[in-house]
Amino acid sequence: MLLPKRTKYKKQQKGRLKIFVPSTNKIKDAKNNIYFGQFAIIAQSSGKINSKQIEACRIAIKRKIRPLGKMWIRIFPNVPISGKPTQIRMGKGKGLVQYWVAKVAIGMVLFEISNITKTVAYYALNSGLKKLPVKSKIVQKARYK
C-alpha cells in the first residue's frame, strides 16, 4: 500500500475538492502535461483515489507491459482519511486513520507508460482504467517537430 513515510500531523481535515478547469492560455500546469511517457491516463472528473485503487491499477497495467514497458505513477496518496468503527457512540474524539487518498483534479495526469506499441499501450491502460473510481481517458503525447 502507498502511504507517506512520515507526516507532521497524524490526522487532517478532508477539505473540499476544487473544480479545476484547465486554462486555455500557453502556461500549463505541471500536473497536466505528459512528461515521461508516450501514453497516459488523464482524469476527466475530480475525486479521491484510494491507495489500494492506485496499487490495483499499477498491477493491472504492469502485468500487460511487463517485459519492456516503463511506467510512471504521477499521483501519491498523501491525505489521511480517519474513521470510527460502527456501534461507537458520538464524541470521544476523532477516529484513527483508516486509509490514504490522493486528491485528483480534472485534467491531471495519473499514469504514464512508454517503450511499447500503441495497441499494447491502449490495452494496458484500458485495464487500468477499470480499477479507478474517477472518470478518465487515455491520451497519446503530441509529437512536436
Residue 132 lies in a domain: yes
Query: From the centroid of its chain, how far is CA 14?
Result: 17
Residue 54 lies in a domain: yes
Around 71, how many Cα atoms within 13 Å sit in the side-chain half-sphere?
A: 22
Residue 32 lies in a domain: no
Residue 145 lies in a domain: no
Residue 76: other Cβ atoms inside 10 A? 13
Residue 142 binned pLDDT confidence (cut-offs 50, 70, 90): confident
pLDDT at position 124 is 96
- Please report, for the domain that includes residue 110, its CATH number: 3.90.1170.10
Residue 16 lies in a domain: no
- Please give the residue range of the domain that contains residue 106: 37-83+96-140
* d(C-alpha 23, C-alpha 137), whole Å: 19
Residue 32 binned pLDDT confidence (cut-offs 50, 70, 90): confident
Contacts of 33 (CB under 8 A, 6+ apart): 109
Residue 116: other Cβ atoms inside 10 A? 21
Residue 75 lies in a domain: yes
Instruction: Write out pLDDT tens, residues 74-91.
Output: 999 999 999 999 999 999
Residue 133 lies in a domain: yes
- Predicted confidence (pLDDT) at residue 24 exceeds the cutoff of 60: no
Strand partners, 111: 41, 73
Residue 74 lies in a domain: yes
**Number of structural domains the chain divides into:** 1
